[in-house]
Structure 1
Amino acid sequence: MSNWVKTILFLIGSAVLTHWLPTSFFRNLDTMVHEFGHAVATLALSGKVMYIELYSNHSGVTLSTMTKSWAIIPVSLAGYMTASVFAWFLFSAYAKGKQRLGLQVTAAVSILSLVLFVRNGFGVMFLVGFIVLTVVVLALTPKWLRDFYYLLLAFLCLEESVFGPASLIVYAVQNGGAGDASNLANHTGIPAIIWAIGFTLFALWCAKRAVSAFLGRSKRARSSSRPATMGSFRD
């Protein structure tokens, strides 16, 4: 079975399983990372971030001002691409047995978002709750529960990082564009659907790398659990 087929099956399985969760609370993590990507890109290009708002329907917005008009292009690119790379990072850390580091990075990004950017009520409540829960998991829970929590976040981020930009394709077909794809279309003249397809292809490439890392870790774990065999030789 090819890695692309495995990736698609993993994404479908993740979507099915995660939609059975009794709460959509953790889906806001991908939104937070997306908006954090916009904010960091803005600051890197000498812009100013006014605020980030996170909403209960898993959407978000980053309001910023730029001194350079062309900077809107990399800033608009940064959201979905950051979310895709972050999902890949979580699985890469898992493959190396560094789940604690992955949770620490996730908590650090959440704390920075809370302190520096997020100002609306729901966004603040989500981040406070998520930070407290993640710190408790890091400090007090057994390894098996910490690993379960880690993989829950990783698979949610993986699913959201792909299905988020994929939904832009639908919006672009129905309405001519939406969100970051519309911003890019307005500033480049390239249709929003082209940007939406580009975001989705990049997300799928990152997802493929993430799934490969996850399966590689599982394969190594199975191999290490098998008893060693000794060869027999004759002169």
Structure 2
Amino acid sequence: MNKSLKAVLFLVASAILTRLIPFSSWFRTLDTMIHEFGHAVVTLLLSGRVLRIELNADHSGTTYSYLSSGWSSVLVSLSGYTIASIFAVLLFYGYAKRKQAAGLILITLLAAVNLLFFVRNSYGVWWLVIFMALNIVFYLLGSTVRNFYYLLLAFLCLEESVVGPLTLAITSLTNPRQAGDAANLAHMTVLPAIAWSVLFLLFALWCTTQSLTLFWRKPARKPAANTSMRTG
């Protein structure tokens, strides 16, 4: 079976399975957080100013920022979906390297940064507080439970990183002006919103194949402790 097709089928199967887990929908805001955080980081790197981030109960989000350069806005609009896809790969890389504990700490630190500096709406603030508390609880429950929880977050991020551009592509066809980042890019470039949506989707699917390759790879073993013996 073609590697890309196998990845898509596995992704569909995992999306169905994870939706059977109670409250899994609530955790999907993690992908939104990473998406909006990506916009914020690139804005700051381009000497812009981030006013605030909003995370909403319907898994949508908005980053309000100020940039003086038009082409800087292009890079910021590109960053959300691409960084979310790359972050999913990073999570599976952590799994392949048996760094689930470190990965969970990283996720929690990112949530803390968003809470302290960017997110200001009430739902977003409470979601971040509860999410960080849950991360701490699962971290303390031991490696077996922690690793399952980490994989759940990784697969939810992976699924959402593909579902987001797919939904964007549909919106680009039915209502291009409401196509979020794709609409912004269409306004600033010669490519229409659907073209940007497809590019986001293709990149997300490529990241999916990389993520699942890491998942299927046998996790690295922890190095054995060195022992020495002196005889005489």
Q: TM-score, normalised by structure 2?
A: 0.91
Q: Corresponding residue for 2:70?
A: 69
Rounded to whole Å, the distance in 1 between the matches of 2:190 and 2:74 is 12
Q: Corresponding residue for 2:175?
A: 175
User: Following TM superposition, by how much is the alpha carbon of 1:136 offset from its aligned partner in structure 2, in angstroms?
Assistant: 2.0
Q: Corresponding residue for 1:145?
A: 145
Deviation per CA, 1:46-68, whole angstroms, max 9, x where unpaired?
00000000000000000000021
Whether the 8 Å contact between 1:14 and 1:155 is mirrored in structure 2 is yes
1:94 counterpart letter in structure 2:
Y
User: Following TM superposition, by how much is the alpha carbon of 1:97 offset from its aligned partner in structure 2, in angstroms?
Assistant: 0.6
Q: Corresponding residue for 2:127?
A: 126
Rounded to whole Å, the distance in 2 between the matches of 1:133 and 1:190 is 42
Q: Corresponding residue for 1:230?
A: none
Rounded to whole Å, the distance in 2 between the matches of 1:122 and 1:98 is 30
Rounded to whole Å, the distance in 2 between the matches of 1:158 and 1:187 is 28
Whether the 8 Å contact between 1:96 and 1:217 is mirrored in structure 2 is no
Rounded to whole Å, the distance in 2 between the matches of 1:67 and 1:96 is 41
- Whether 2:59 is the aligned partner of 1:58: answer yes
Whether the 8 Å contact between 1:32 and 1:54 is mirrored in structure 2 is yes
User: Following TM superposition, by how much is the alpha carbon of 1:171 offset from its aligned partner in structure 2, in angstroms?
Assistant: 0.5
Q: Corresponding residue for 1:28?
A: 29
Whether the 8 Å contact between 1:3 and 1:212 is mirrored in structure 2 is no
Q: Corresponding residue for 2:4?
A: 4
Rounded to whole Å, the distance in 1 between the matches of 2:91 and 2:11 is 15
Rounded to whole Å, the distance in 2 between the matches of 1:152 and 1:29 is 11
Rounded to whole Å, the distance in 2 between the matches of 1:120 and 1:196 is 28
Deviation per CA, 1:120-166, whole angstroms, max 9, x where unpaired?
0000000000011112222x212110011000000000000011101
Rounded to whole Å, the distance in 2 between the matches of 1:176 and 1:160 is 21
Rounded to whole Å, the distance in 1 between the matches of 2:77 and 2:126 is 26
Between stretches 167-176 and 146-155, larger displacement belongs to 167-176
Q: Corresponding residue for 1:231?
A: none
Whether the 8 Å contact between 1:28 and 1:58 is mirrored in structure 2 is yes
User: Following TM superposition, by how much is the alpha carbon of 1:5 offset from its aligned partner in structure 2, in angstroms?
Assistant: 2.1
- Whether 2:222 is the aligned partner of 1:205: answer no
Deviation per CA, 1:18-61, whole angstroms, max 9, x where unpaired?
22232221010000000000000000000000000000000000
Identity %: 50
Structure 1 residue runs of 4+, over 2 Å off?
Answer: none
User: Following TM superposition, by how much is the alpha carbon of 1:189 offset from its aligned partner in structure 2, in angstroms?
Assistant: 2.4
What secondary structure does 1:118 align onto? coil
Rounded to whole Å, the distance in 1 between the matches of 2:168 and 2:20 is 24
Rounded to whole Å, the distance in 2 between the matches of 1:217 and 1:210 is 13
User: Following TM superposition, by how much is the alpha carbon of 1:176 offset from its aligned partner in structure 2, in angstroms?
Assistant: 2.1
What secondary structure does 1:21 align onto? coil
1:185 counterpart letter in structure 2:
A
